[in-house]
Structure 1
Amino acid sequence: MHSSQNNPQKTTPAPVGGFVIDAQGREVPITEDMIQHACNALEQAQQQAASSTTK
């Protein structure tokens, strides 16, 4: 028996439950990578805001 976990393949990321509308009006599935990128950007912005208010 072969499992896909033993041999991961590069595939298109699966949507995680939502879509955004791009500038051309197309639905673009929201991926886990998109969420992680947004969370990282938010964390960096919060850290920069906190450091600028303590100066």
Structure 2
Amino acid sequence: MSLQTRTENRRVVPLKPEQPVGGAIIDALGREIPITEGMIQRACRELDRQSHSGSARQS
């Protein structure tokens, strides 16, 4: 069985942007801030944006 076949059978459960995903960060005041789906999505978009702008500068 190939990796492609196995991933086709995965079920994706969409999460609400404000829904905690099981982790937390500690802010400057020592407060525990739950990591949300929205935080992860924003971070991924920012990394994607940076990787595309960085590759354009290297060319």
Report the counterpart of residue 27 of structure 1 in structure 2. Answer: 32
Give 5+ residue unaligned stretches, structure 1: 1-12
Residue 14 of structure 1, CA deviation = 2.1
C-alpha distance in structure 2 between counterparts of 1:40 and 1:17, whole Å: 20
Report the counterpart of residue 52 of structure 1 in structure 2. Answer: 57
TM-score (norm. length: structure 1): 0.73
**Structure number, greater radius of gyration:** 1
Count of residue correspondences: 42
TM-score (norm. length: structure 2): 0.68
Q: Choose from 34, 44, 47 the match for 1:39.
A: 44
Residue 22 of structure 1, CA deviation = 0.6
- Structure number with higher helix proportion: 2
Q: Which residue identity lines up with residue 33 of structure 1 in the other structure? A: G
What is the RMSD of the two structures over their aligned residues, measured on CA atoms? 0.6
Report the counterpart of residue 15 of structure 1 in structure 2. Answer: 20
C-alpha distance in structure 2 between counterparts of 1:18 and 1:49, whole Å: 29
